[in-house]
Chains A and B, each alone.
Chain A
Amino acid sequence: MVKNHMQRQFDMKRSLLDQGYLDEQFIQLEELEDDDNPNFVEEMVTTFYNNSARLLQNIEQALVSRPIDFTKLDNYMHRFKGSSSSIGATRVKKECTIFTEYCKKANAEGCIRTFLQVKQEHACLRRKLETYFQLGRQAAGPSANAGGQVG
């Protein structure tokens, strides 16, 4: 069973990579895990989502305010993008780039539309990663040997 879980986890990661949800950066993070930090990646992802929620909120507020401050928007998005890229959230990053382009052109509608995409990708990845880590915990087995044995 353990093997099963591990295999499943591994496969899921493969799939996430192939579909472009995650990229090489995520792999790098996993490589940073060691005995001292067995759950490093999961911790990082958690940190990311906590932090990015705040950033998304800022963006949303900036989008609804009138007139729209595109400079501020650009600033927020830039930070959000940087944060997303640090965990390897590729699809999210792509949407961020599109958003930034609209932002530079002061295209409010484009920004709003893209922002919805950003949020969607952001949420979707979260779900997937949660599953992924869950698999990892399961793979570690009930003995709970530092649960996060990433396959």
Chain B
Amino acid sequence: MNPSNGKGSMPTASSSAAWKAGDVVPDQFPAGLRVLVVDDDPTCLVILEKMLRACRYEVTKCNRAEIALSLLRENKNGFDIVISDVHMPDMDGFKLLEDIGLEMDLPVIMMSADDGKNVVMKGVTHGACDYLIKPVRIEALKNIWQHVVRKRKNEWRELEQSGSVEEGDRQQKPCDDLDYSSSANEGNWKSSKKRKDEEEETEERDDSSTLKKPRVVWSVELHQQFVAAVNQLGIDKAVPKKILELMNVPGLTRENVASHLQKYRLYLRRLSGVSQHHSSLNNSFMSPEASFGPMSSLNGLDLQTLAVTGQLPAQSLANLQAAGLGRSTAKSGIPMPLVDQRNLFSFENPKSRFVEGQQQHLSSSKPMNLLHGIPTTMEPKQLASLHQSAQSLGNMNVQVNSHGAQSSSLLMQMAKTQSRGHILNESAGSHLPSLPSSIGQPIMSNGIAGGVIGRNEIGDNGRGTGYNNQVAQTSSMLSFPMNHTTELVGNSFPIGSTPGISNVTSKGAFHEEVSSEIKSSAGFVSSYDIFNDLHPEKSQEWELQNVGLHFNASQNANPVQGNLDVSPSVLVHQGYSSRQGSGQNRNISALGRTMFSGVEATGQGNAQIMDQQLSNLIVDNPVRVKYERFSDTSSQNALFADHFGQEDLMSALLKQQQGNTGPAEPDFDFDGYSIDNIPV
């Protein structure tokens, strides 16, 4: 069925145009929304079509679920939302719902004449974003666009957090991502998302593009190949790269595999934790009860990574997954690369790797390395901190460019995962110093910091902001190497403030500094994108450029105004890098401190202090980053500073991880993200 604009007043060519690149005039929204409606009853189908057209949507109708699926597959980005009946002769509506969620990650609305609670509940558990009772009224249809927006917003947020702030407008307004309500923003991010989708195939590494991943349709066959490969490698050892090799499917990228792997792991987790009835992984996986979520969605990153690492309880995962599924699709970009590149969680032997990794990473562009060392069991936070430290190392050290990049990517990933906010909390005591993923902002995980945080926080001026900024900065520094060299450059990282930072032992100062800096460097958020497509090369360049830039800037900036709460992450990074220079790889500890030390390093080289700070940040403080409260940076800082000793971050982290979940279970009050709250 071809979309027929026919009777509606929708602009013919608008469907894509309307949603593209911010051309959309705010008040036209949501006109042009591309809806696919599936119902076996011809009467209902025509009526729905008419109603949707009356809403100025672009409608495609079809009376068979199979046809709908093939339509969706053919036009991967051809639809914005799907409305489907529950009872259909050829396929159960819920099955269709799951498939769509898995393959295309589009919002799906279920409808039925049956308003029984059970059925409605089923819709919820299968991931439907809404359930309409027939007869459907036009008023109900008028608002369906909200589901698209919501989903995009979540995706966008993820992207942003991973440093995908490539949009100029976003950079200017770091906090914009929080303000998705305005249609202008929607237009913007929609367009960016659109652009992302459309350019997925060809421009994965676009300078400012967010995670653009080609939408791979994980058909049953493909998935089975995937599972076979995974089983062959061993679930714990299954690395996207190897899986890809084993599968030997042309056109499939490592990122695709990594993303799918995340989902798969999440799925397994959920299986083991939630229900046992999915005996067949394959089957289950492909159509999990609780909508697994789009394969390609970033969504996986935090949830999956966590799941993978086993940090998240299955239940939480399921919850998150469901939550994520229901809502966010975007995550795809980030998780993939992160996992892939960083191997955060499961793949490598963390301890040994980490330390070495860092150094190696420094030299090698492989981002993963940083995390390699991280034990799989490591709490995400810890990982994040590791990352951070790694990052900081990278950052601080101009020379270490590669390292920085890598660390950033790691951190980014970490951050990403972390950012999931709730996830972090769950994982516990991670030492993510900079998990300040702004409340609910994945950025946190990106921990990497600065980038993410910067983004979120940039808006705020409070400590929280600063915190973020710092983090953001570091991340930007770090992560950007990955993707956006340009981004980084653009961001005047507060790093510049490093010199100042060193002065400012108190975290507070740093923070503010950073925050202010970060603000300007809004761009770094885009570094999150970096995760996805970390190009070693790029990162390399970036690092050099950015790092240098940052530092330079920072040096001059005289940043530390004292209003910065040394966000651990930022500091860590900062310090870290500087530390690097000093040849200390306190990566981990440095993380926390990097920020501080970084500052110092650049400025003064208060290695000691930095170390301390870092170690404090990283080692002892489980993710001090309170998700929900950035403003607690100062307290956080304190935490970090106190605990850090002069030990290698790595060991510290490892120790932490093994010894305790973290001295201070940070009071992460993830209000919004409490996993428990997320209904599966």
Residues of A within 8 A of B (CB): 24-25, 28-29, 31-32, 34, 36-37, 40, 43-44, 47-48, 51-52, 75, 78-79, 81-83, 85-88
Provide the bound-state CA to CA distance between A55 and B112, in Å: 17
**B interface bracket (residues with beta carbon within 8 Å of A):** 20 to 34
CB atoms of A85 and B54 under 8 A apart: no
- CB of B32, distance to nearest CB on chain A (Å): 18
Residues of A within 8 A of B135 (CB): 25, 82, 85-86, 88
Residues of A within 8 A of B137 (CB): 24-25, 28
CB atoms of B7 and A36 under 8 A apart: yes
Residues of B within 8 A of A29 (CB): 47
Residues of B within 8 A of A52 (CB): 43
CB atoms of B41 and A79 under 8 A apart: yes
Provide the bound-state CA to CA distance between A51 and B40, in Å: 11
Provide the bound-state CA to CA distance between A61 and B206, in Å: 62
CB atoms of B7 and A83 under 8 A apart: no
- Which residue of the partner chain B has the closest CB to A25? B135
Residue of A48, A79, A81 with most chain B CB atoms under a 10 A cut-off? A79
Provide the bound-state CA to CA distance between A75 and B85, in Å: 13
- CB of B10, distance to nearest CB on chain A (Å): 13
Partner of B87, one of A31, A36, A78: A78
Q: 22 pairs across A/B with beta carbons < 8 Å?
A: A29-B47, A31-B138, A32-B54, A32-B138, A36-B6, A36-B7, A37-B50, A43-B46, A44-B46, A44-B47, A48-B43, A78-B87, A78-B114, A79-B40, A79-B87, A81-B113, A82-B134, A82-B135, A83-B41, A83-B43, A86-B47, A86-B136
- CB of A135, distance to nearest CB on chain B (Å): 22
- CB of A128, distance to nearest CB on chain B (Å): 18
CB atoms of A37 and B87 under 8 A apart: no
CB atoms of A32 and B44 under 8 A apart: no
- CB of A12, distance to nearest CB on chain B (Å): 21
Answer whether A83 and B44 are a contact pair too, CB < 8 Å, given A78-B114, A88-B135. Answer: yes
Q: Is B51 an interface residue (CB 8 A)?
A: yes
Answer whether A82 and B112 are a contact pair too, CB < 8 Å, given A28-B137, A32-B51, A75-B87. Answer: yes
CB atoms of B43 and A47 under 8 A apart: yes
Provide the bound-state CA to CA distance between A36 and B7, in Å: 7
Residues of B within 8 A of A32 (CB): 47, 50-51, 54, 138
Interface of A is mostly: helix
Provide the bound-state CA to CA distance between A39 and B138, in Å: 18
Residues of A within 8 A of B41 (CB): 51, 79, 82-83, 86
Provide the bound-state CA to CA distance between A34 and B51, in Å: 12
Provide the bound-state CA to CA distance between A9 and B48, in Å: 26
CB atoms of A78 and B113 under 8 A apart: yes
The 0/1 profile, CB within 8 Å of A marked 1, for residues 124-141 of chain B is 000000000011111000
- CB of A60, distance to nearest CB on chain B (Å): 18
Q: Which of B13-67 contact A (CB under 8 A)?
A: 40-44, 46-47, 50-51, 54
Residues of B within 8 A of A83 (CB): 41, 43-44
- Which residue of the partner chain A has the closest CB to B50? A32
Partner of A51, one of B42, B54, B85, B112: B42
Provide the bound-state CA to CA distance between A68 and B610, in Å: 80
Residues of A within 8 A of B42 (CB): 47, 51
Residues of A within 8 A of B51 (CB): 28, 32
Residues of A within 8 A of B44 (CB): 82-83, 86
- CB of A1, distance to nearest CB on chain B (Å): 31
Provide the bound-state CA to CA distance between A40 and B6, in Å: 14
Residues of B within 8 A of A51 (CB): 41-43
Residues of B within 8 A of A37 (CB): 7, 50
Residues of A within 8 A of B85 (CB): 82
- CB of A48, distance to nearest CB on chain B (Å): 4
Residues of A within 8 A of B112 (CB): 82
CB atoms of B138 and A28 under 8 A apart: yes
Provide the bound-state CA to CA distance between A79 and B43, in Å: 11
Provide the bound-state CA to CA distance between A87 and B51, in Å: 13
Provide the bound-state CA to CA distance between A24 and B51, in Å: 15
Which 4 A-B pairs have CB atoms at the shortest separation, nearest pair first?
A: A82-B113, A85-B135, A48-B43, A25-B135
